[in-house]
Amino acid sequence: MDPQMKKGLLDAWVLYILLKEDTYGYKLTQEITGILETSESALYPVLRRLECQGFLETYSAEYSGRLRKYYRITASGITRFNEIKTELKQLKDLIERIIGGDNDG
């Protein structure tokens, strides 16, 4: 898949996963790398950017005697995910026209 297309989908996948539950970075990267075939190192900058934009927040919780950094989606993140979902539906319609050979413009 084209790297630019993949980059755009990373935000959507991160927010989608965090809608279901809070999770820690390593688990999140494992889930996403299995879907988009991307490296773990590519995901952490996405997490930092989404946090800086106010779409995610972090907290620490103890697990087996160690502190683990967890990510949680914010209300702004939910709003952003819904915007992305709308954009993806529009893109899906365009792709279906291209694949289906609809030349009506």
Average confidence (pLDDT) over 4-31: 90
Q: What is the pLDDT of residues 44-65, one digit of tens each?
A: 899 999 999 999 999 999 999 9
Q: Is the pLDDT of residue 73 over 80?
A: yes
Average confidence (pLDDT) over 78-91: 95
Level-2 CATH architecture, domain 3-100: Orthogonal Bundle (1.10)
Predicted pLDDT at 7: 76
Q: What is the pLDDT of residues 89-104, one digit of tens each?
A: 999 999 999 998 756 5
34 against 82, higher pLDDT: 82
CA distances, 29 to each of 34, 84, 89 (Å): 8, 20, 25
10 contacts 32 by C-beta, under 8 angstroms: yes
d(CA 42, CA 38): 7
